[in-house]
Amino acid sequence: MPHLALYTFGVLKSPLAEPTPLMDEFYARGEAIYRKISRHPGHLAHAEAAHGDRGTLFEADWGAWGQFAVPAWYAKGRTAETTALAATLSLWTDLRSASEAVYTGLHREALNRRYDWFERTGHPGHVFWWVPEGVTPTWRDGVARLEHLHEHGPAPHAFTRETAERRGP
């Protein structure tokens, strides 16, 4: 049975390393949300740097998730001091589980405040796609699917939560 991959991407208003109350709040919420989501029924796995490298997204070893990649429209920094993005890559058993984890509770509260932390880019912030069981999606897969979604709209290859309910595996 196929699994559902989810890639999220957002451009932050300030670098992750910038010691501001805004970024401190973002980190604190993010860590709590990750803990909660990783225990949610239907969550299979999410990309984590092999050595827990916080803020070194581009240089980190991501193992089976592949080399870290970002969409072409990301034009900010790529070092630990200048990176101003938040990205996730996760694997789920199904759309319902992913939707419940992302659109309820702590994460829903954070989504309601997303424009406090993120720039409005005019690009989609997430993309779903189906992968065969046993396949680990890569960062490059996520970027390619998000860019495809932006350029061509939803399709079986790359879709949003709103269109996923009509598609299935």
Angle between helices 95-102 and 105-112 (to 10 degrees): 60
**In the chain, what are the helix, strand and coil shares in percent, each to the nearest 5?**
35, 20, 45
Percent of the chain with pLDDT strictly greater than 70: 94
Q: Which of 78, 87, 107 is nearest to 15 (CA)?
A: 78
In single-letter form, the type of residue at position 142 comes to G
Half-sphere exposure of residue 20: CA atoms within 13 angstroms, side-chain side:
11
- Which helix (H) or strand (E) element contains residue 3? strand 3-11
Q: What is the distance between the alpha carbons of residues 136 and 60, in angstroms, rounded to a whole number?
A: 17
91-119, pLDDT tens digit by residue?
999 999 999 999 988 888 888 999 999 99
Q: Is the pLDDT at 61 greater than 80, yes or no? A: yes
Cα Rg of the chain, angstroms: 15
For residue 125, give both structure tokens: 């912030």
pTM equals 0.92
Task: Give the model confidence (pLDDT) of 106-152 as tens digits.
Answer: 888 888 999 999 999 999 999 999 999 999 999 999 999 999 999 99
Strand pairing report for 3-11 and 126-131: antiparallel
DSSP 3-state of 78: coil
The Cα–Cα gap between 35 and 31 comes to 6
